[in-house]
Amino acid sequence: MTELLRTEGLSAFYGASQILFGIDLSLAEGRTLALLGRNGAGKSTTMKALAGVIPTRDGRVTFGGADITHAPAHVRARLGLAYVPEDRQVFPDHTVEDNLLIAAKTGPGGRRDWTLPRIWEAFPLLVKLRRRAAGRLSGGEQQLLAIARALMGNPLVLLLDEPSEGLAPIVVATIGRLLRELGAGGATILLAEQNMHFCLSIASDAAVIDKGHIVHRDDIAGLSANAEIRRRYLAM
């Protein structure tokens, strides 16, 4: 298995307060790693540090073997790291189709797997919304659009921060199905989530974060069978 993304001893701060304390993560090509933890555990901070939205204070981040520890966000994006933040950040005044077209680019190594027609195929719900302003979509529709937009850049790795958060169960199921299909198609995904059940049929591996430390690592089935770890670090 080829390792694509790796952090060693990653630490990050907001101002003077340290939030991440030496995070070690490894994501291999074609795997989906669930980064699980409670409210405030440090999931989003980890994702932001990986995306280059906040600086890494200590430690090292490598992507495809290259050291990106201090690379700015746009360089990481160009190298093939696509980040979908918690608040999705679609362009509210642009149509769904324009949001997708703005994001269209050839990926690293000339990857062109994702084009508009393929997006419509994989995201049938978006087809009938193509002319609607993104700001008028429901939360779930915006989440789908945000994932579709990330794919339009033909990335090597998707960083998804709590895609199920705040969505109705039926929409969560739709997003779950989509992520499962992406994973089956060979996508490499880091999925930050509070909801372990959502991850069960999607992720291959799991890392549990608590107070800015990785406290447990397992495959997702092992984690789901581990009542003690779930009780201690996850709200279930």
Ligand X SMILES: Nc1ncnc2c1ncn2[C@@H]1O[C@H](COP(=O)(O)OP(=O)(O)OP(=O)(O)O)[C@@H](O)[C@H]1O
**Least distance in Å: CB of 35 to ligand X?**
9
Among 5, 19, 137, 148, binds ligand X (CB under 6 A): 19
Among 7, 32, 45, 99, binds ligand X (CB under 6 A): 45
End-to-end CA distance of the chain: 32
**Least distance in Å: CB of 14 to ligand X?**
3
Part of the chain binding ligand X (CB under 6 A), chosen from 35-43, 145-153, 168-176, 178-186: 35-43
At position 8, the amino acid (one-letter code) is E
Part of the chain binding ligand X (CB under 6 A), chosen from 24-32, 39-47, 130-138, 152-160: 39-47
**Least distance in Å: CB of 197 to ligand X?**
15
β partners of residue 159:
83, 190
Q: Does 164 bind ligand X (CB under 6 A)?
A: no
Q: Does 44 bind Mg ion (CB under 5 A)?
A: yes
* 192 to 211: interface string for ligand X, x by CB under 6 A: --x-----------------
Of these partners, ligand X, Mg ion, none, which one is at the site of residue 14 (CB under 5 to 8 Å by kind)? Answer: ligand X
Structure tokens at 212: 């800015």
Q: Does 44 bind ligand X (CB under 6 A)?
A: yes
Q: Does 144 bind ligand X (CB under 6 A)?
A: no
Q: Quick check: 38 and 209 in contact, CB under 8 A?
A: no
Residues found near ligand X in the complex (CB under 6 A): 14, 19, 37, 39-45, 162, 194
Residues found near Mg ion in the complex (CB under 5 A): 43-44
